[in-house]
Amino acid sequence: MDELKRLVISEQTQEDEVISLSLRPAKLTDFIGQKDLVSALKISIDAAKKRGEPLEHTLFSGPPGLGKTSLAHIVANEMNSHITITSGPAIQRAGDFIGILTNLNKGDILFVDEIHRLPKTVEEFLYPAMEGFKIDFIVDKGPYAKTINFNLKPFTLIGATTRSGLLASPLRDRFGIFHHLEFYEKSDLATIITDTAAKLNVAIDPSAANEIANRSRGTPRIANRLLRRARDYAQVKAGKNHVDLDVAVECMKSLRIDEYGLDDLDRRLLSIMKTHYQGGPVGIDALSATLNEEVDTLVDVIEPYLLKTGFLRRTSRGRELTDLSLKHLLKSKL
């Protein structure tokens, strides 16, 4: 079950990380989907370049796998800047940031993934760095304590978060540009799948690309992952050198991913809500205990897509099944 779950979760796997290096677009014009976001971001970048200034601090929010990291790399490329990458969990003390910040040159990009997981003391340390490009670091304690001031070169902080509501208001207010990434349209996903197939030297029929797009949960990372599994299935099980509709359908059936992109864990969640809780409402902690899954996994990975597609609704009393999910449970056969 763990192996199957990894296929349709939008968290990045080691395989995704390696493959994405060759698939990541370099320019905004190459970025597929999120048209309004791309248009607004292009205006911000062009304006900053005309003024000869670094881009304002930028926050990308949205579910995992939608392109926040790719956009950070694109911004660095468009601004002809160097990008330094870290993540919220990797920074545990304010002192960890000193070496990173002082090594940034004018116009450089500092990308902090999962920025909502920065400790509060580190968040407060960032405030003067973002506002006035300076940091104050206290050394020693008690009567021997003294403050060391560092002047920083103007830089751009790009934060990525799946839980923007967890960001402290003072930190969120210091970002000048905000963009929320939505789940992708199926037509955009089909285009992404076709482009990825060409880069991987995989022949794919348009109908197969559409079929995989339908099951990709609106997420490019999952679409590319399912394409790679369809390529493997075509070569090993079907004995073909290309992915056609029959191969795509049979591959998805073997992976137990249905036409909505739901896997066994999704259907198990919906089924438990129906049988154990009469369709809800039910609290997230109760669901977590029954499914033996972490609350964060349910909230960050599973729920967003089920809410988006109308399989779940969230009320003040808890989660509830919809008529769509009940009908899907009745006809779901894999």
Task: Show Cβ contacts of residue 153 under 8 Å, excluding neighbours closer than 6 positions.
Answer: 104, 105, 106, 108, 133
d(CA 42, CA 126): 26
Task: Show Cβ contacts of residue 15 under 8 Å, excluding neighbours closer than 6 positions.
Answer: 225, 228
Catalytic site residue from 172, 174, 215, 221: 221
Catalytic site residue from 16, 58, 68, 219: 68
Catalytic site residue from 16, 58, 69, 219: 69
In the three-class reduction of DSSP (H, G, I as helix; E, B as strand; rest coil), residue 205 is classed as coil
Residue owning tokens 């029929």: 205
* Interstrand relation of 312-315 and 134-139 (parallel, antiparallel or unpaired): unpaired
Catalytic site residue from 16, 58, 108, 113: 113
Dig out the tokens for 104 from the structure.
């940034």
Active site residue 69: yes
Active site residue 221: yes
Dig out the tokens for 198 from the structure.
């060409």
d(CA 321, CA 70): 34
d(CA 235, CA 242): 8
- How many CB atoms within 10 Å of residue 244? 17
d(CA 50, CA 155): 16
Helices (H) and strands (E) in the chain, counts: 16, 11
Catalytic site residue from 58, 156, 161, 162: 162
Query: Which among 192, 142, 226 has a CA at the least distance from the CA of 33?
Result: 192
Task: Show Cβ contacts of residue 202 under 8 Å, excluding neighbours closer than 6 positions.
Answer: 227, 231, 242, 243
Residue owning tokens 């669901």: 287
Task: Show Cβ contacts of residue 137 under 8 Å, excluding neighbours closer than 6 positions.
Answer: 94, 95, 98, 147, 148, 150
Residues designated catalytic: 68-69, 113, 162, 221
